[in-house]
A = this chain, B = another copy of it.
Amino acid sequence: MKTFADAPPPLMDAPTAAEDTTAATPRVRRGTGRRLHGAIAHKLGTAILAGEYLPGDILSGEVAFSEALDVSRSAYREAVQVLTAKGLVESRPKAGTRVLPRSRWNLLDPDVLAWAFAGEPDIAFVRGLFELRAIVEPAAAALAAERRERTDLKIMKDALAAMRRHTLATEAGRAADREFHDAVLTATRNDALIVLSASIGAAVSWTTQFKQRARALPRNPIPDHVLVYDAIAAGDATAASNAMRTLVDLALEDTKLAMRR
A contact residues vs B (CB 8 Å cutoff): 37, 41, 74, 77-78, 81-82, 84-87, 102-103, 105-111, 125, 128-129, 131-132, 135-136, 139, 143, 189-196, 200
Contacts and interface: CB of A to CB of B under 8 A. Distances in A.
Contacts of A189: 128
A111 B135 contact: no
A47 to B, nearest CB: 17
Contacts of A110: 87, 106
Which secondary structure dominates where chain A touches chain B?
A: helix
A195 B108 contact: yes
Given A81-B82, A86-B85, A109-B109, A128 B37 contact: no
A109 B106 contact: yes
Contacts of A135: 135-136, 139, 193
Contacts of A129: 192
A107 B195 contact: yes
Contacts of A195: 103, 105-108
Contact of A193 (B74, B82, B103, B132): B132
A191 B86 contact: no
Given A105-B195, A132-B196, A85 B87 contact: no
A86 to B, nearest CB: 6
